[in-house]
Amino acid sequence: MNLKGRNFLTLKDFTPEEITYLIDLAAEYKDKKKKGILHDTLRGKNIALIFEKTSTRTRCSFEVAAHDLGMGTTYLDPSGSQIGKKESIADTARVLGRMFDGIEYRGFEQAIVEELAKHAGVPVWNGLTNEYHPTQMLADMLTIREHFGHLEGIKLTYMGDARYNMGNSLMIVCAKLGMHFTACTAKEYFPDAALVAECEEYAKQSGATITLTEDVDAGTKDTDVIYTDVWVSMGEPEEVWAERIAKLSPYKVTKAVMDNAGKDAVFLHCLPAFHDLKTKIGKEQSEKYGFTELEVTDEVFESKQSLVFDEAENRMHTIKAVIAATLGAVL
Ligand code: CP
Ligand code: NVA
């Protein structure tokens, strides 16, 4: 398998074999890291990390992964560069491509990261756009595989805003890898019909299924993985909170939902999560709308079924695999 020179913008661009290869590679890097075996085979290379939205996991994963591989990193924060204000994406790409061996981009429309990749001349990695979050998918799949021992045939139910980056990306990866994806949410939060049709084509090849339902009982029955994400994503306006809370509250992940799922079901969340009132935004919004938890109850989040911190750790190992594979590192 040779992914050297490839961009990593959406999993739509990758075959099931390539996705599996990246998960396998991540598992190998994880094993090396745990055993304390150095793997700094990309010494002398440098990467740029552009973040137009905030981040904890993705930024730290890119930085730690790059340092473990022996590379240098430069972080460009949402305000500290010329990007988009005084300099176009195409010009930025051509400048950074002269200095760096790879570029990570987190920001708004997918079209921006596509434009960056078109002009950079070095691999570009999508660290989250409005439409997709592909590095998150590899971490989620590694976590599920570690737990269940396989991916094919696993039933995954996504609850909440299924028409944004997380819902879209989970539907794509499940369809590619032969998993059974259910979006369990209010109709207006179902994924875009064109994307569903595209994923139905992948599903024909892999044996996956795609289900869209508003029925919580049917949508979560006997499922293996219950997955949710925040109801209001980064960059969305304040005005959407009221409607999201009204429409998505029936799709909160509660103990009743977990009990209705399969006997060995697990809970996943890309994080950050509003499972209590210990955050500034959570507290502010709770004063307005009177909730104590949003997309998941604290009880589920803190339960043994919750694998969210294994999942967060796996961000680093999987991002390392993406950097290494696309820059042609020798394991
Ligand atoms: N899951 C995720 O992407 O987290 P960050 O926003 O902290 O990077
Ligand atoms: N949907 C969330 C994902 C965060 C990792 C957002 O875009 O803010």
State pLDDT tens for residues 299-328.
Answer: 999 999 999 999 999 999 999 999 999 999
Ligand nearest to the CA of 270: 1
Tokens found for residue 202: 């992948």
pLDDT band at 78 (very low <50, low <70, confident <90, very high): confident
Residue-level pLDDT at 331: 81
What are 15-48's pLDDT values in tens digits?
Answer: 999 999 999 999 999 999 999 999 999 999 999 9
pTM over 0.85: yes
d(C-alpha 247, C-alpha 310), whole Å? 30
Mean pLDDT of the chain, nearest integer: 97
Q: Which helix (H) or strand (E) holds 198?
A: helix 193-206
Give me the residue label for tokens 């590619």. 176
Distance 43 CA to ligand 1 centre (A): 26
Q: In this structure, what DSSP letter does residue 104 have?
A: E
Three-state secondary structure readout of 253-288: ECHHHHHHCCCCCEEEECCCCCCCCCCHHHHHHHHH
How confident is the model over 260-292, as pLDDT tens digits? 999 999 999 999 999 999 999 999 999 999 999
Please say whether the dihedral angle defined by the alpha carbons of residues 131, 186, 56 and 35, taken in this order, is positive or negative.
negative
Reported as a single tens digit per residue, the pLDDT across 201-217 is 999 999 999 999 999 99
How many A from CA of 316 to the centre of ligand 2? 17
Torsion of CA 262, 268, 269, 275, to 10 degrees: 70
The answer, yes or no, to whether residue 81 has pLDDT greater than 90, is: no
What confidence tens digit (pLDDT) does each residue in 101-130 have? 999 999 999 999 999 999 999 999 999 999
Given the residues 161, 270, 275, 285, the one annotated as active site? 270
State the residue for tokens 């938890």: 293
pLDDT(85) > 90: no
**Tens digits of per-residue pLDDT, 157-191?**
999 999 999 999 999 999 999 999 999 999 999 99
- CA 52/CA 76 separation, integer angstroms: 8
> Hunting for tokens 């890898």 — which residue is that?
177
SS3 303: coil
* DSSP H/E element including 177: none
Q: Is the predicted pLDDT of residue 196 greater than 90, yes or no?
A: yes
Share of the chain above pLDDT 90, in %: 96
Ligand 2, residues at Cβ distance < 6 Å: 128, 164-166, 229-230, 233-234, 270
Checking DSSP bridges between strand 102-106 and strand 72-76, what pairing results, if any?
Answer: unpaired
Q: Which of 186, 192, 210, 191 is nearest to 200 (CA)?
A: 210
Is 270 catalytic? The answer is yes
Q: What is the pLDDT of residue 20?
A: 98
Among 127, 96, 94, which residue's Cα sits nearest to residue 113? 127
Of the listed 57, 59, 106, 180, which one is catalytic? 106
Question: Rounded to an integer, what distance in angstroms lies between the CA atom of residue 60 and that of residue 233?
Answer: 20
What is the model's pLDDT at position 80?
82
Name the CA radius of gyration of the chain, rounded: 19
Angle at alpha carbon of residue 29, lines to 39 and 143, rounded to 5°? 160
- At residue 201, the pLDDT reads 98
Q: Could you tell me which of 215, 210, 158 has the C-alpha nearest to residue 183?
A: 158
Residues at CB less than 6 angstroms from ligand 1: 55-58, 128, 136, 270-271
Ligand 2 centroid distance, CA of 51 (Å): 13
pLDDT at position 1, please?
Answer: 94
For residue 180, what pLDDT is reported?
A: 98
pLDDT for the residue numbered 205: 98
Q: What is the mean pLDDT of residues 129-137?
A: 98
Q: What is the mean pLDDT of residues 66-80?
A: 95
Residue 9, burial from CB neighbour count under 10 angstroms (0-12, 13-18, 19+): buried
Q: Provide mean pLDDT across the span 240-251.
A: 97
Q: Which residues on neighbouring strands pair with residue 253, listed in sequence order?
A: 296
